[in-house]
Chains A and B, each alone.
Chain A
Amino acid sequence: MKYALIPLLPFAAFVVIGLFGHWIRERAHWIAVPAVAGSFLLSLSAFADVAQGEPIRLTLYSWITSGSFDVNIGFFIDRLTAAMLLLVTVVSGLVHVYTIGYMEGEPGYPRFFSYIALFTFSMLMLVMADNFLQLYVFWEAVGLCSYLLIGHWYDRKSACDAAVKAFVVNRVGDFGFGLGIMLIFAVFGTLQYDQVFAKAASVAGETINVLKPLGGEWPVGMLTVLCLLLFTGAVGKSAQVPLHVWLPDAMEGPTPISALIHAATMVTAGVFMVARLAPLYNLSPAAMDVVAVTGGLTALFAATIALTQNDIKRVVAYSTVSQLGYMMMACGLGAYAAGIYHLLTHGAFKALLFLCCGSVIIALHHEQDIRRMGGLKAKLPVTYWTFVIGSLALAGFPLTAGFFSKDEILVEAWSGGALGQTLAVVGLATAFLTAFYSFRLVFVAFHGESKVGSGGASGGPPPAGMAPHQAGHIHEPSRTMTIPLMVLAGLAVITGYLGIPEFLAPVLHGPGGAEAGHEAAVPIMVIASIMGLSGIAVAYLFYVRSPQLPERLTQQWRRLYGLSFNKWYVDELYDKAFVRPTVEVAGLLWRRMDVAVIDKAVNGVAAGVALWSRSLRLIQSGEVQHYALGMALGAVVILGVYLLMLQ
Chain B
Amino acid sequence: MVPLSYYMILSAIVFLTGLVGVLIRRNIIILLLSIELMLNATNINFVAFAYYLNNIAGQVFVFFALTVAAAEVAVGLAIILALYRGKATVNVEDLNMMKW
List chain A positions with a Cβ less than 8 A from chain B.
617-618, 620-625, 628-629, 632
Contacts and interface: CB of A to CB of B under 8 A. Distances in A.
A211 to B, nearest CB: 67
Given A628-B23, A632-B19, A632-B23, A623 B100 contact: no
Interface stretch (B2-10, B62-70, B88-96): B88-96
Contacts of A625: 22-24, 92
Nearest to B25: A625
Given A622-B97, A628-B23, 14 more contacts: A617-B100, A618-B100, A620-B98, A620-B100, A621-B99, A622-B96, A622-B99, A622-B100, A623-B93, A623-B95, A623-B96, A625-B23, A629-B23, A632-B19
Contacts of B24: 625
Contacts of B22: 625, 628
Q: Which 7 A-B pairs have the closest CB atoms?
A: A622-B99, A622-B96, A617-B100, A622-B98, A620-B100, A623-B96, A621-B99
A628 B24 CA distance: 10
Contacts of A621: 96, 99
A617 B100 CA distance: 6
Interface string B6-48: 0000000000000100111000000000000000000000000
Nearest to A623: B96
Contacts of B96: 621-623
Interface residues of B, number: 12
Nearest to B20: A632
B48 to A, nearest CB: 20
6 contacts: A618-B100, A620-B98, A620-B99, A621-B96, A622-B96, A623-B92
Contacts of B97: 622
Nearest to A614: B100
Contacts of A624: 92, 95
B23 to A, nearest CB: 5
Contacts of A623: 92-93, 95-96, 99
A621 B19 CA distance: 20
A617 to B, nearest CB: 4
B22 to A, nearest CB: 5
A233 to B, nearest CB: 63
A633 to B, nearest CB: 10
Nearest to B99: A622
Nearest to B98: A622
A632 B96 CA distance: 20
B83 to A, nearest CB: 11
Contacts of B19: 632
A83 B97 CA distance: 84
Contacts of B23: 625, 628-629, 632
Nearest to A629: B23
Contacts of A617: 100
Contacts of B95: 623-624
Contacts of A618: 100
A622 B19 CA distance: 19
Contacts of A629: 23
A620 B97 CA distance: 11
